[in-house]
Amino acid sequence: MHCLLFPGQGVQRRGMGADLFGLFPEATAMADEILGWSIEELCTRDPHRRLRDTRYAQPAVFFVNALLAQQVIAERPGHYRYFAGHSLGEYNALVAAGVLGLDAALRLVDRRAELMSQVTGGGMSAVQGLPVSFVRRALTETGLPRVFVANLNADTQSTIAGDRAELAVAAKAIGALPGARVVPLNVSGPFHTPLMAAAEQRFRAVLDGCDFAAGHTPVVSGVTGDVFDTGRAAELLARQLSTPVEWVRAVTTLRAAGVTGFDEVNGKTLSAFLTRIAER
């Protein structure tokens, strides 16, 4: 059984999707219309150096993911029995599963990007080489109230996020543990932490006005690590902003459901995580 995976913010690269936009002229025109700027110019040339900015990076990654997915799925209809996405990528999974239309999803992503980019003063760091239990213990020991585990990406790979100053202290403490490597990530906000509460509130209002279909293919949620309950879609997507990405649990759930083959669009980030999540 196969599952298609969608990465989130962080995979953006200048030049991504360059040969796609011409193949999907209508979708591209629609995106320009919704966003109010040229998605193709941003992705291929990025003349104003916006690709690293959350405000622009999220719609860009989402849209390129979506076009790539359309290609991949059209090649092998019915091949994928599950979809899952990491953070932002979850919107792509919902589109692929028929829960959201591309246009509706892009509008949500655009709004989400706007709200998330307004939360500043925070940051994220990747932690490699440590089990998350060690990371949590280290955070407890530092006594810093505003740093949290934000992603559980693989058995010894996680990210921490929070207040920028406190994050630096935490990174130093964690980096001192044997085998640990802490790498600052190019992200402006403390995503997937309680510090996103205000953004979550505002985004919840946006989501409440949104319709979600039941979909035709199951999605596994990074919020719960279980199958995405489309009846609670608005709630889950709102909570997503302030709760950790439970990627290890999501993969474990997919494997338990019988998924043996994983494909990924737009790079190999999630595939690399997979090799570092032991079979349970």
Partner 1 sequence: MDTDIAVVGLSVEVPGADDLDTFWQIISSGASLTRPFPTNRREKLAEYIRYLRATSIEPVTDPDVEYHNGCFLDEVDTFDHTVFGMNPRQATLTDPHHRMVMRAMFLAFEDAGYGFDRLRGSRTGVFVGFAVNPGSTYLDYICRVDPNNGQQAITGNIPAMLANRLSHLLDLRGPSLVVDTACSATLVAVHQAKNALLAGDCEMAVVGGARIVFSPVKHPHSNIGIESSDGVTRTFDEAADGTGFGEGSGAVVLKRMSQAVADGDRIYAVIKGSAVNHDGNTEGITNPDSDSQADLLDAAWRNAGVHPRTLGYLEAHGTATRVGDPIEHEGMKRAFARYTTDRGFCAVGTVKANVGHLFEGSGVIGLIKAIAVLRNRMIPPQANFKNPNPKLDFAAGPLYVSTGLRPWESPDGPRRCGVSAFGLGGTNAHVVLEEYVAQAPATPAGPGPFLFTLSAATLKSLVRLGERYVRFIDAAGLDGVDIADVCHTSQVSRSGHRHRAAFVVHDVADLRRQLVASLADGASPPPDGPLGDEARRYLAGEPVDWRRLSDGRRRIVRLPGYAFDTTPAWVQFPDTWRAQLSLGTVDEEHPVTHDVVFAPAADPTPATPGARVLALVDPDTDAGRLLAATGLDDLRVLRLGEPVRPGGAPFDARSADSFAEIARLVEDDGVTHLVHALGFDATPAADLAGLDLRTGKNLHSLFQLTKALMAAGVKLELTVLTRRAVCARDAEPDVVVENGALVGFGKVIGREYPYLGVTHLDVDPDVSPDAVRAEILSPERGVFLWRDGRRLHEVFVEVPQVDTDGPQSYLRPGGTYLITGGTGALGLAVAHAFATRQPDVTLVLLSRSGLPPRAQWPDLLAAPAGDARAGRVRAVRELEELGARVRVVAADAGDPDALAAAVADVRGEYGRVDGIVHAAGLPGGSTVMFRELADFDAVVRAKLHAAFLLDQLTRDDRPDFVVHFSSVASVFPAPGQADYAAANYYLDNVARSRAGGPTHVIALDWVAWKEIGMAVDHGTSGDTMFRALPTRVALDVLDAGLRSGRSRLFAGELHYRGELIHLLRSYDVRLSAEIDAKVDQEMQALEQRLRQAADKIRATVDAVDVELEGRPDGGYTDVERSVAQCLALAFGYPTLDVEADFFDLGGDSIMAASVANTIAVRHDVQYDVADLLADRTVAEIAYHVEDLVAFADAAA
- Is 165 among the residues that bind partner 1 (CB under 8 A)? yes
Which residue, among 172, 151, 181, 148, has the nearest Cα to 162 in the 3D structure?
A: 148
Active site residue 48: no
- For partner 1, give the closer residue by CB, 102 or 174: 174
- Is 274 among the residues that bind partner 1 (CB under 8 A)? no
The piece of 93-101, 173-181, 214-222, 249-257 that touches partner 1 (CB under 8 A) is: 173-181
Min CB(222)–partner 1 separation in Å = 22
- Applying CB under 8 A, among 2, 79, 172, 216 the residue interacting with partner 1 is 172
5, β-bridge pairs: 84, 264
- Is 177 among the residues that bind partner 1 (CB under 8 A)? yes
- Is 227 among the residues that bind partner 1 (CB under 8 A)? no
- Is 131 among the residues that bind partner 1 (CB under 8 A)? yes
Active site residue 87: yes
Using CB under 8 A as the criterion, which residues of the chain lie in contact with partner 1 when the complex forms? Answer: 123, 131-134, 136-138, 140-141, 155, 164-165, 167-169, 171-172, 177-179, 184, 186, 278
